[in-house]
Amino acid sequence: MGFYPQYAREQLVSNSGWGADMAESGRPSIYTLELAAEVCRRMEAGESVRSICRSEDMPDEATVRLWARENREGFSAQYAMASETRMDCLADEILEIADDRSGDPARDRLRLDSRKWLMSKVAPKRWGDRTIHMGDPDAPLVVEKVVVEFVKAKD
DSSP 74: G
User: Could you give the CA distance from residue 58 to residue 115 in angstroms, rounded to a whole number?
Assistant: 25
Give pLDDT, residue 22.
35
Q: What is the mean pLDDT of residues 133-149?
A: 76
Helical segments of 1-149, H only: 6-16, 20-24, 33-44, 49-52, 61-70, 75-99, 105-122, 124-127
Three-state DSSP at 73 gives helix
Q: What is the mean pLDDT of residues 103-123?
A: 92
Task: Count CB atoms within 10 A of the CB of residue 86.
Answer: 23
The pair phi, psi for residue 44, each rounded to 5°, is -65, -20
User: Could you give the CA distance from residue 39 to residue 68 in angstroms, rounded to a whole number?
Assistant: 11
Is the pLDDT higher at 125 or at 5?
125
Considering just the CA atoms, what is the radius of gyration of the chain in Å? 26
User: Could you give the CA distance from residue 123 to residue 75 in angstroms, rounded to a whole number?
Assistant: 18
For 137, 138, 143, 144, the CA distances from 134, given in Å and listed in that order, are 10, 12, 12, 15
User: Could you give the CA distance from residue 75 to residue 36 in angstroms, rounded to a whole number?
Assistant: 7
Which of 18, 25, 83 lies closest to 57 in space, CA to CA? Answer: 25
User: Could you give the CA distance from residue 44 to residue 92 in angstroms, rounded to a whole number?
Assistant: 13
> pLDDT-based confidence at 135, cuts 50/70/90?
low
Q: What does the pLDDT look like over 15-37, one tens digit per residue?
A: 433 333 334 556 888 899 999 99
Reply yes or no on whether the pLDDT at 74 is more than 50.
yes
Three-state DSSP at 139 gives strand
Give pLDDT, residue 103.
85
